[in-house]
Amino acid sequence: TGSTQPQRMLEAVQKNATKGDPESVFSAIDYYCRHKEWAMNVGDEKGLILDSVLTEVNPSIALELGTYCGYSTVRIARLLSPGSKLITVEFNPAFAAVARQIIAYAGVQDKVTLVEGPSGDLIPKMKERFGIKSFDFVFLDHWKDRYVPDTKLLEDCGLLRKGTVLLADNVICPGAPEYLKYVRNSPRYESRYFKSNLEYSKVEDGLEKSVFLG
Ligand SMILES: O=C(NC/C=C/[C@H]1O[C@@H](n2cnc3c(NCCO)ncnc32)[C@H](O)[C@@H]1O)c1cc(-c2ccc(F)cc2)cc(O)c1O
Ligand SMILES: [Mg+2]
Residues 210, 148: contact at Cβ < 8 Å?
no
Residue 1 has pLDDT above 70, yes or no: no
With a cut of 0.95, is the ipTM above it?
Answer: yes
Q: Say which of 141, 150, 205, 208 is annotated catalytic.
A: 141
Nearest to 212 by CA among 171, 172, 152: 152
Q: Is any ligand 1 atom within 6 A of the Cβ of residue 47?
A: no
* Ligand 2 is an ion; residues with CB less than 5 A from it: 141, 169-170
% of the chain surpassing 90 pLDDT = 99
Residue 125 has pLDDT above 70, yes or no: yes
Q: Is the pLDDT reported for residue 2 higher than 90?
A: no
Q: What is the pLDDT of residues 102-113, one digit of tens each?
A: 999 999 999 999
- Whether 169 is a known active-site residue: answer yes
141 counts as catalytic = yes
Q: What is the pTM of this model?
A: 0.99
